[in-house]
Amino acid sequence: MAVTLADVAARAGVSAATVSRVLSGSYPVTEGTRGRVLRAVAELEYVVDGPASALAGAGSDLVGIVVNDIADPFFGVLAGAVQGELGGAGPGGEKLAVVCSTGGSAARELDHLAHLQRQRAAAVVLTGGAPEDPGHARALATKLARLAAAGTRVVLCGRPPQEPEVTAGAAGAAGAAPVAGRARGAVPPVTLAFDNRGGARRLTAHLLALGHRRIGCVAGPAGRTTTTERLAGHRDALAAHGVVDVPALTVPGAYDRSSGYDAALELLRREPRLTAVVAANDTAALGVCAALRDRGLRIPEDVSVAGFDDLPFSVDAAPALTTVRLPLREAGARAGRLALGRAVAPPGGVARLPAELLVRESTGPVRPAATSAGGAGGAAGAVSGSIGSGRVGA
């Protein structure tokens, strides 16, 4: 059953009239009472209903865009592309984009979704990788099922589809009747997933084809889907070439320039003969390049460097970064159209978007001295390490 005003009043220990006053903001109430009512609303996930409610009136024109970090170009490009599709032309008219930044917090992600549900958002676009936490996955699936039951369209952009067993359990747990005045046919979430694993595999294979064997990998934060997928692709390529991955060369850090810089220095400390580094993203790759230059190493003559995502600045770096292009603008625009019902959902509700290898000036053949040093040029004796980093992932 849907949660009612009376349910909120009982939880808060006040009258239904007091709850209505708090939600409308039209009558003065004490801070203590207001706090109890708002806590009850959050705990019960109460959705304000009725034409007299200012929240309900505004909600139908809202589209929530949930990102990890709006300052990160990865999410900035996605959010901008989604917002570009929310104009007045087409079904549904013009919508107002509300960008919600989680700062990498799984709890904050759930809080944002609860707020968007209470605002009766027309659609929600959830971007970037997800935490690999079964508890969070169940909680998220329940939130999304409640949004869908209330008539909100949900699009997952840049993250893998939800597990069927998780979504099946969430449908029963949500148990919410459609909100009055909303569409009664719940639209299941649509997923636009990036081929992170395939892109990482092609990137590392490119370095291996250039003769590199001592390859460091600056990966993303542990426990994030994007990190797992990209690191798996890197290791796929190593295994296919008979190169041994050395877990001891995993160093935690973050998806930013300073962490890329620190990770590169640690890699050089652990393996001075390093000939290539694969960075978690283009921003971290810039930090790797800076660290190498500060150590007097040339790129790519001494050490090749590659990034990921093809962020706008990557082509203008010196040297221009070899990277993997993800179709960020295209994915964001498609997510915006799907959110407004202006595009047809892919078969099965899931589309996997390709990742393209872009070879530029930051990677080159391994230098002959490095190939022969230590006898590591052969596959049997070759090793590679991976650097784990700690920022919330793309």
Query: CA neighbours within 13 Å on the CB side: how many for 178?
Result: 11
With 0-12 / 13-18 / 19 or more C-beta atoms within 10 angstroms meaning exposed / middle / buried, residue 103 is exposed
What pLDDT, on the 0 to 100 scale, is given for residue 18?
Answer: 86
For residues 170 and 189, what is the distance between their CA atoms, to the nearest angstrom?
A: 13
What pLDDT, on the 0 to 100 scale, is given for residue 181?
Answer: 39
Q: What is the pLDDT of residues 5-20, one digit of tens each?
A: 788 889 989 888 887 7
What pLDDT, on the 0 to 100 scale, is given for residue 237?
Answer: 97
For residues 223 and 92, what is the distance between their CA atoms, to the nearest angstrom?
A: 38
SS (H, E, C) 281-334: CHHHHHHHHHHHHHCCCCCCCCCEEECCECCCCHHHCCCCCEEEECCHHHHHHH
Share of the chain above pLDDT 70, in %: 81
Three-state DSSP class for 234?
helix
Q: What is the pLDDT of residues 190-207, one digit of tens each?
A: 999 999 999 999 999 999
What pLDDT, on the 0 to 100 scale, is given for residue 3?
Answer: 76
Q: What is the pLDDT of residues 351-382, one digit of tens each?
A: 999 999 999 999 999 987 665 443 333 333 45
For residue 363, how far is the Cα from the chain centroid? 27
Summarize the confidence of residues 285-292 as an average pLDDT. 96
303: left (phi over 0), alpha (psi -120 to 50) or beta: beta
Mean pLDDT of the chain: 84
277 bridge partner residues? 216, 305
Give ∠ CA 317-81-184 in degrees, rounded to 5.
150
The two three-digit tokens of residue 321, written as one number? 């970064």
